[in-house]
Amino acid sequence: MTPVPHHRLIDTKVPRYTSYPTAPHFHDGVTSGTVAGWIDAIAADEAISLYLHIPFCDRLCWFCACHTKQTLRYAPVTDYLATLHREIAMLGRHLAGRGIVRAIHLGGGSPTMIRPDDLQSLFQKLHATFTIAADASVSIEIDPNDMDEARLDALAGVGTTRASLGIQDFDPHVQKAINREQGFEATRHVIEGLRARGVGSVNIDLLYGLPFQTLATLGRTIDLSLSSRPDRIAIFGYAHVPWFKKHQTMIDEAALPGPGTRLEQAQSAAALIRQAGYHPIGIDHFALPTDSLAVAAREGRLTRNFQGYTDDHCETLIGLGPSSISRFRQGYAQNTPSTGLYGRLIEAGSLAVVRGISLSADDRLRGWVIERLMCDFGFSTAALCDMFGESAEPILREAALLAQASPHVVTEGDRFSIRPESHLFARSIAAQFDSYLHLEKARHSAAV
C-alpha cells in the first residue's frame, strides 16, 4: 500500500463509496436471471427498502450528474409511470408476499414532476403489491420550483415522512451559471407548506465548488438555509464530470474554484452549520441533535447507500426504474439506464437488470472497512477480527502500514481512526483499502 501524499489528498480523484465494489466494476455477468434468484432467496420477514427512480425533469440543471432527461411534455412521464407500474407488479410476483417494506424513497430526476393523482396512484400500487410496515419511512426528493398546493397535499396524502429539497445555492449569479434559478421565498414557502401538513423531517441539499461561488456567497446561502431550521443539511462538493454528463460542458470551467478554494469552502460551510447547533454526520451531512441520523451516528448505527448517509438498516434495497441500483445480500444489480430499453424489457416480462456484481468474501470485508471509515472515521480491529476471523489479517497489515506512513490516521488501542482534522479526506483514505481502484479506467470527481 502506498499512501496518498498529503498535498495530493485535496484534489485526489476517488469514488464516493456509496457502494463497494463501486459501480465501474459492475459487469454483464449479473443478469435478470441472477437477480430473480436473489429475490427468490428473500425471507418472508426480511426488511426491504424500495427506491423508485423518476428519470425526468422539466429543466436540466447543468451541474447535475443524475440519470435524467428534460421534457416539457407530460406524455412521456405518463408512459413511463405505466411501465413503472408493470415493473412493480413483476417484482411483486417474484416476491410472492415475502419481505416487509420499511422504507420507500423517490429520487430522480424530479419526482415532484409527477402530477398529484399519478403520485397517489403510484402509492396505491405499492400498497396493493407489497407488505408495507405501518411505520415505514417515505422520503421524496423535491424541486421547489415544481411545487404547488395540490402537490404539497399529495405528498402529505401518500405519507411522506421526509422531504429533501434541492437548493444548491441562492446567489443569482451562481444560479444562472448552473441553470438553476430558484428564489429563497418560494423555497421557504415549500418548507412551511410541508411542515404545516405534518411532514416530520425536512432536509436541504447544498453544493460548494460551483462556478462563481465565493466564501461570501456560500456563507449567505447557508445563512438563508439555516433560517428555515431544516432537520438535516447536506453540503456536497460539486462533481465536475463533463466526460460523463455532456451538459456540464455548459459550465464555464474557468469560473470553477480551484482545489484550495474548494477546501476552504467545505471547511467554512461546515463551521457555519456546526455553529448553528447541527451535528456533523460523515463527510458532508449535518443534522439537529434530535434527528434520527444524528442519533444513529452517536450510537454507531450510521450506514451508507446510494442515497448517501442513512439510518436505514435494511440489508436489501431494491431499485425500480432505469439506472436504479439494487443491493442484495449476494451482490449489486443495476437496471439499464436507457429509458427506451427499460420499457422494452419490462414490456417483454423481464427484469430490466443489465449488470451488477456478486460479492466475494474479500469484497464484504473491505466493504465493511470502507463503510465504517466513511461513517465513523475509523473501525475497531477487534470487531473486524470478530466478524471476519483470519481473513482480516491483510487489512490489519494494510492499516498498520498506513498508520506508520500517513499523518492523517492513527492507531490507538484496537482502533484505527482518521484524525479529526483530516475527516474531509475520508474518501481518499478509504480508497487506500479499495483493491479494485488500481484496475479502474473510470474517472472520478475530486475527493474534496
* CATH code where residue 379 lies: 1.10.10.920
From 288, 305, 320, the end of a domain falls on 320
Same domain membership, residue 383 and residue 235:
no
Q: Do 81 and 218 belong to one domain?
A: yes
The C-alpha cell that represents 108 in the structure block: 430522480
Residues 106 and 184 occupy one common structural domain: yes
* Residue 384: domain span: 360-443
**Is residue 138 a contact partner of residue 107, using CB atoms and an 8 Å limit?**
no
Question: If you average pLDDT over residues 9-36, what whole number do you get?
Answer: 90
| Cell numbers representing residue 337 in the block | 439506464
In this structure, the answer to whether residues 262 and 382 fall within a common structural domain is no
Q: Which residues contact 45 (CB under 8 A, 6 or more apart)?
A: 99, 100
198 within a domain of the structure (yes/no): yes
Element (H, E) at 157: helix 149-157
Same domain, 401 and 286: no
pTM: 0.92
Residue 10 belongs to some domain of the structure? no
- Boundary (domain end) residue, out of 268, 296, 320: 320
Q: What is the average per-residue pLDDT within 85-92?
A: 98
The 3-class SS string of 406-441 reads CCCEEEECCEEEECHHHHHHHHHHHHHHCCCHHHCC
Same domain, 395 and 309: no
pLDDT, mean of residues 21-40: 96
CA distance 281 to 366: 21
- Which of 258, 288, 320 is a domain's end point? 320
Per-residue pLDDT band at 244 (split at 50, 70, 90): confident
Together in a domain, 112 and 250: yes
Are 179 and 51 in the same domain? yes
* 3-state SS, residue 12: coil
Cell for 99?
419481505
The single residue listed with the C-alpha cell 436540466 is 60
Question: Do residues 257 and 368 share a domain?
Answer: no
Q: Which residues contact 348 (CB under 8 A, 6 or more apart)?
A: none
pLDDT per position as a tens digit, 259-295: 999 999 999 999 999 999 999 999 999 999 999 999 9
Name the percent of the chain lying above pLDDT 90: 85
Helix/strand/coil for 292: helix
Do residues 283 and 378 share a domain?
no
Predicted pLDDT of residue 366 = 98
Residues 370 and 228 in one domain: no
How many angstroms separate the CA atoms of 388 and 361, rounded?
9
Average pLDDT over residues 34-61: 95
Q: Is 182 a member of any domain? A: yes
| 420 and 304 inside one domain | no
CATH code at 85?
3.80.30.20
Does a structural domain hold residue 436?
yes
* Cell numbers at 447, concatenated: 475527493
Handedness of CA 16, 283, 63, 73 (dihedral sign): positive
Please check whether residue 138 lies inside any domain of the structure: yes
Average pLDDT, stretch 172-183?
93
Break the chain down into helix, strand, coil percent, rounded to 5: 45, 20, 35
User: Is residue 3 situated within a structural domain?
Assistant: no
DSSP secondary structure, 69-119, as one string:
EE-S-SHHHHHHHHHHHHHHHHHHHHHTT--EEEEEEEEES-GGGS-HHHH
How many domains, in total, are found in the chain? Answer: 2
Residue 197: DSSP 8-state: T
* Contact in structure between 303 and 283 (CB atoms under 8 Å): no
- Whether 100 and 106 have beta carbons less than 8 Å apart is answered as no
Give 42's DSSP letter.
-
